[in-house]
Amino acid sequence: MEMLKKAFAFFIITTLFFVDSSVAQQDQTYSQYMFVSSIYNPGFTGSRNAICATGIMKQQWVGVEGAPNVYAVSIESPVKFLRGGIGASIITDKIGAFNTTSLKLNYAYHKKIGDALLGIGLGLGLVNKKVDYSLFNVQGDDPLLTGSEEESGMIFDIDAGLYFQKADKWYLGLSSTHLSQGSMEVAGGETSLVRQYFATGGYHLKFERMPKLIITPSAFLGYTPNAPMLINAGVIGEYNKMFWGGVVYMHQNAIGLMAGVNYKNIKVGYAYDVNINPLKTGGSHEIRLGYCFKFEIEKSKRSYKNTRYL
């Protein structure tokens, strides 16, 4: 019975990819969405006064064969002479016999508006989609599904976004991924990158009687044609800018419990998702590790004395 459940789950997962281009496939989302903004929105790139590298790994539906696994690494930095910031990311998303790897380069133009900062970003990259037919384990005479070969292709991709924030107060973001909606032929059919839209926002609440405590409610919304609306809402409590914990609700999908620590320039976070979807699959693990090298560019004031007056 257990083997039957696993086989059925694997069949469902792989079937999601053998569909025509009219059916949308969503990008992977993270429980810790508030810490990986540049992955969804190039407008955030380089908005921190630091060179920051972040890695995040998510293992979904533990115990289910062929369940999604995603790994993402990004690095970004402000660049003064470009009046903004630059960054790069690489993301690998594996679901059953299907593997998607994307490489993106981001640029964001920064504009001060009062006390707030507006980032206008553009991301350009390549997406590689690959199918490993040896993982289907199908009995029969179909050479496509019973073979051991791989099939892959490359797609050009474009992202764009706006990110508006006031340091230690609030933030708002609007973005769209896969603007070019590139496509490729695979398994005798066509698969394409479907344009997606994201919106995010958060507000940092501070308390006079508890100055070391910051409560941040936030939301992350996603829209993809021909797919359910993505609605994530969460709240995080941070103490002394070091320890934090929180919860996020992912509509009709999961409830995530999160905790982490920030020590000097190192940031660590962990989330466990309790699935509430109809499949009642296993939980999901998500681990994030980040490091920021902060720097300040200031013109040092120097005074010179003429030796004849010493």
85 pLDDT above the threshold of 90: yes
pLDDT tens digits, 165-184? 998 899 999 999 999 998 88
pLDDT tens digits, 205-214? 999 999 999 9
The count of domains in the chain is 1
In a domain, 96, yes or no: yes
Q: 281 near 61, Cβ under 8 Å? A: yes
**Model pLDDT, residue 291:** 96
67 pLDDT above the threshold of 70: yes
pLDDT tens digits, 235-255? 999 999 999 999 999 998 899
**Model pLDDT, residue 23:** 42
6 pLDDT above the threshold of 50: no
pLDDT tens digits, 97-127? 888 999 999 999 999 999 999 999 999 999 9
71 pLDDT above the threshold of 80: yes
**Long-range contact set of residues 102-107: C-beta below 8 Å, sequence gap at least 24:** 102/126, 102/127, 102/128, 102/157, 104/42, 104/157, 104/159, 106/38, 106/42, 106/45, 106/76, 106/159, 107/42, 107/45, 107/82
CATH number at residue 265: 2.40.160.60
Residue 190's pLDDT band, with cuts at 50, 70 and 90, is: confident
Q: CA 127 from chain center: how many Å?
A: 15
- % of the chain surpassing 90 pLDDT: 61
In a domain, 84, yes or no: yes
In a domain, 25, yes or no: no
Name which residue leads in pLDDT, 59 or 305: 59
List Cα–Cα distances, 58 to 68, 71, 91, 97, 288, in angstroms: 8, 7, 11, 17, 9
Q: Show the domain range for 195.
A: 2-13+31-294
pLDDT tens digits, 23-46? 445 688 899 999 999 999 999 999
Name which residue leads in pLDDT, 161 or 15: 161
Q: How open is the CA angle 62-64-68, to the nearest 5 degrees?
A: 75
Average pLDDT over residues 141-152: 63
**Model pLDDT, residue 143:** 56
Residue 136's pLDDT band, with cuts at 50, 70 and 90, is: low
CA distance 39 to 55: 11
In a domain, 63, yes or no: yes
Average pLDDT over residues 220-248: 95
Average pLDDT over residues 285-303: 73
Residue 250 has φ and ψ, to the nearest 5°, of -110, 110
Q: Where are the alpha helices (DSSP H) in the chain?
A: 2-15, 37-40, 143-146
pTM above 0.85, yes or no: no
Residue 310's pLDDT band, with cuts at 50, 70 and 90, is: very low
Name which residue leads in pLDDT, 287 or 10: 287
The total of other beta-carbon atoms located within 10 Å of residue 132's CB is 16
**Model pLDDT, residue 292:** 94
CA distance 23 to 36: 27
Residue 2's pLDDT band, with cuts at 50, 70 and 90, is: very low
Paired strand residues for 127: 102, 155
